[in-house]
Copies of this chain bind each other. A is one copy, B any other.
Amino acid sequence: MASQSWFPIPKSSHFSLANIPFGIISTATNEVPRAGVAIGDHALDLAAFSAQNGFSSVSSIQKDLTVFAHHTLNPFAALGRPVHRQVRRFVQDLLRIDTPFPEILKNNKQLQAECLIPLNEVKMHLPMQIGDYTDFFVGKNHAYNCGVMFRGPDNALQPNYTHLPVGYHGRASSIVVSGTPIHRPKGQILANPNAEPKVPTFSPSKRLDFELELGAFVCRENKMGEPIPISEAGDSIFGLVLMNDWSARDIQMWESAPLGPFNAKNFGTSISPWVVLMDALEPFRTLSIQNDTELLPYLREEKNNVFDIRLEVDLAPESGPATTILHSNGKNLLFSFSQMLTHHSVGGCPMRVGDLLGSGTISGTEDGSQGCLLERSKNGKDIIKLSGGLDRTFLEDGDTVTLRGVCGTEEDGLVGFGQCIGRVLPTMSS
């Protein structure tokens, strides 16, 4: 049974009392970006709330109250998971129907008017300053399906695949918050892969795709040379967001050997604006995809190390209704974010607060659960029908892609990510 709030929270809201996700907000009347939490269809402005002594009973945060006035969540994240936990619990207590602090907000209409802002009046910003961004590839069903397409079922996965979380460094500068449109990239494309000699053409990508992923933000530094042990990796993760790793498949095919994807990925990556804290996800721990390979000791951890997050993606053409084109789940991963982080640092790579780790595309095993169009359309061979009568193999200009993710039940209070939205704009002329 969900905790009840004295504040109206729609039953279907992703932002129930059980969630309390953090983000960076601004408003027309105060354009300075600052921290907030989402609660129902409102944001609680933490900078304003803190300025009015709202946090005076949370001792652990007293000397750090300026973190809420910052334009990113980095300083709050850097305070560490025990502080995140206390602040989240305090906000939950504040909003409970039987709050022990009724005088702070429940009975203070003036502070409510000052601090509780309808989400439709809030502008969301990138929640973190992202130093380095790494994209992993641990959605095993996706890796297998793509491998089958290009190398056949016997060599679909590389020999290293089950031994380590495969990943590559991505481009931090092109990570944008949900709602930011994405220009279709142009680049070198090999029109006919079988032609000899192989001479590329130059054009806007004709195989533009999305990738359904989860992203994890780092909240603790390790010194260069000092790996993060698996037992401590969980304390280094602030929270999760939805992530759309936009991908140009034709550019990717031509450029990727031997050093991996480059321009095929660096033109844009979209993330949802509200960071769902690890504590909020704790009740939804579940089993990852089974790995029959015996892992090296540094990567071994308990098995219920991923999260049961129901994921779906809508595709809406420029004029026409949205169609939910896929359903997947956050548990479709071979390694956890803790394992990714431990592997990332095992050679001594220093992680910084605000670094972002992407999971890789999250696909199920059934038809309709593939996390990108490449997989879903079998590289353009199968047509995806949209409900307005149109069809798609890859994305067209004007298409809007919307990722959603949610845990739990309305009865217990949903713990959701809201949406990660991006619209495809034509290539810029230049």
In the complex, the answer to whether A428 meets B164 with C-beta atoms within 8 Å is: no
The answer to whether the Cβ of A352 comes within 8 Å of any Cβ in the partner chain is yes
Which segment, of A260-268, A283-291, A400-408, faces chain B? A260-268
Is there a chain B Cβ closer than 8 Å to A122's Cβ? Answer: no
Interface check A62, CB cutoff 8 A? no
With contact pairs A166-B255, A259-B261 given, residues A350 and B227 touching in the complex (Cβ less than 8 Å): no
In the complex, residue of chain B having the shortest beta-carbon distance to the beta carbon of A223: B428
Total residues of chain A contacting the partner, CB 8 A? 69
In the complex, whether A24 has a CB less than 8 A from a CB of chain B is no
Is the beta-carbon distance between A168 and B259 smaller than 8 angstroms?
Answer: yes
A172-B132, A202-B296, A260-B259 are contacts. A349–B267 as well, Cβ < 8 Å?
yes
Q: Which of A73-81, A340-348, A412-420 contacts B (4 or more CB under 8 A)?
A: A340-348
Are B260 and A183 closer than 8 Å at their CB atoms?
Answer: no
Q: Say how many copies of this protein the assembly contains.
A: 2
Question: Is there contact, CB below 8 Å, between A173 and B350?
Answer: yes
| Contact indicator A132/B167 (Cβ below 8 Å) | no
The answer for the CA separation of A174 and B222 in the assembled complex, in Å, is 11
Q: Does A254 contact B (CB under 8 A)?
A: yes
B257 near A226: Cβ-Cβ < 8 Å: no
Known: A168-B262, A254-B160. A224 touches B349 (CB 8 A): no
Cross-chain contact of A183 among B186, B251, B258, B348 (Cβ < 8 A): B348
Residues of B within 8 A of A132 (CB): 171-173
Chain B contacts for A346, CB-based, 8 A = 185-187, 263
A225-B428, A296-B200 known; A263+B344 contact, CB < 8 A:
yes
Evaluate whether A349 and B166 lie within 8 angstroms (CB atoms) in the complex, with A173-B355, A188-B160, A224-B183 already known.
no
Is A137 an interface residue, CB under 8 A from the partner?
yes
A57 contacts chain B at the CB level, 8 A cutoff: no
Against B, the Cβ 8 Å flags (1 = close, 0 = not) of A278-317 are 0000000000000000001110000000000000000000
What is the CA–CA distance of A184 and B224 in the complex, to the nearest angstrom? 11
Bound CA–CA A101/B183 (angstroms): 52
CB nearest to A137 among chain B residues: B259
Report the minimal beta-carbon distance from A264 to chain B, rounded to whole angstroms: 8
Chain A interface (Cβ within 8 Å of chain B)? 131-132, 137, 158-160, 163-164, 166-174, 176, 182-183, 185-188, 190, 197-202, 205, 224-227, 229, 248, 251, 254-264, 266-268, 296-298, 343-344, 346-352, 355, 425, 428, 430
